[in-house]
Copies of this chain bind each other. A is one copy, B any other.
């Protein structure tokens, strides 16, 4: 059991049930999620001491977000309270040829308006075995780029390994803004999670190669080279329809690339898939697994996430391992 500190925003997610469009919704399902929060939950379920650092408003809806993290075992003792609002995002599930939709309403959230000084990284990272954030956190703007920079610098100084999921969101910042800020942060990152589009948007990286796999490797190597990153994981999600995709990943470590098996997934809820891929990678690092086992475990986790409603990946290590070892889909009595 390692102590991992995740830093990011948690939002209220609202979605019509089943395949209903927004226009048809007279009630919406309520959950609470966010890229780093999803990572924190997955890490807690994998048995780690998972600390989530964030800020939510000091009212009941803010408390609901905290409760949901706590429910799955996340340490919420470092959550800050205050500020104006909890970010909201609306999700409409797609079907067949009809694409899904996500509408963000996250501007001016309590987290986006938090000040860097509210987070004392020296204390927060005491005894930590890992620090995680994604590109969304600095993308929130305000003092968040500064807070992230302080966090990763402190982590480096305290020899806490840092993981980062690029997670480019065009609604938050432009490629230029993202590139500038992330370029400053990347040198402190030990494990980077990316996909081809993000690498291009943020860093202008051009993938080469004909197949998806070759292009993933090209991206991984370029990131590792440019920033001296020890480990780079690249996901490959090939969408067949709103309900089906092919899903795999690749892990670069010390010059070597390991490709995972590929899953044909019948999707229940795609959102959050990359987050638990990242969490599972961190788990593999903490466990000291070899690259092959690590990437297979991470891709299996991401596969299972797509079969579960909402963002949180409510699966155990045992379940992920069973799938990674080829035992999926049976009815267990």
Contacts and interface: CB of A to CB of B under 8 A. Distances in A.
Interface string A53-66: 00000011101100
A92 interface: yes
Contacts of A319: 98
Contact of A30 (B28, B88, B271): B28
B266 A96 contact: yes
A14 B85 CA distance: 15
Nearest to A98: B307
A101 B60 contact: yes
A29 B86 CA distance: 18
Given A14-B28, A30-B26, A73-B70, A94 B329 contact: yes
A20 interface: yes
Given A26-B26, A30-B26, A102 B331 contact: yes
A98 B329 contact: yes
A27 B28 contact: yes
Interface in A62-117: 63-64, 67-68, 70-73, 84-86, 88, 90, 92, 94-105, 107-108
Nearest to A327: B99
Interface string A259-299: 00001011110110000000000000000000000000000
- A: interface residue count bin: 35 or more
Contacts of A73: 70
A24 B328 contact: no
A268 B95 contact: yes
A103 B22 contact: no
Nearest to A241: B329
B25 A30 contact: yes
Contacts of A105: 84-86, 88
Interface in A1-58: 14, 17-31
A22 B268 contact: no
Given A22-B61, A70-B70, A101 B331 contact: yes
Given A27-B28, A71-B71, A308 B21 contact: yes
A309 B18 CA distance: 9
A87 to B, nearest CB: 10
Interface in A118-154: none
Contacts of A96: 265-268, 303, 306-307, 328-329
Contact of A22 (B28, B64, B263, B310): B64
Contacts of A107: 84-85, 108
A181 interface: no
A239 interface: yes
B303 A97 contact: yes
Closest 9 CB pairs of A and B: A71-B71, A97-B328, A95-B307, A98-B307, A96-B266, A22-B60, A100-B331, A102-B333, A99-B330
Interface of A: 14, 17-31, 59-61, 63-64, 67-68, 70-73, 84-86, 88, 90, 92, 94-105, 107-108, 169-171, 239-243, 263, 265-268, 270-271, 300, 303-304, 306-310, 314-315, 319, 323, 328-333
5 contacts: A68-B71, A85-B105, A96-B268, A99-B331, A271-B331
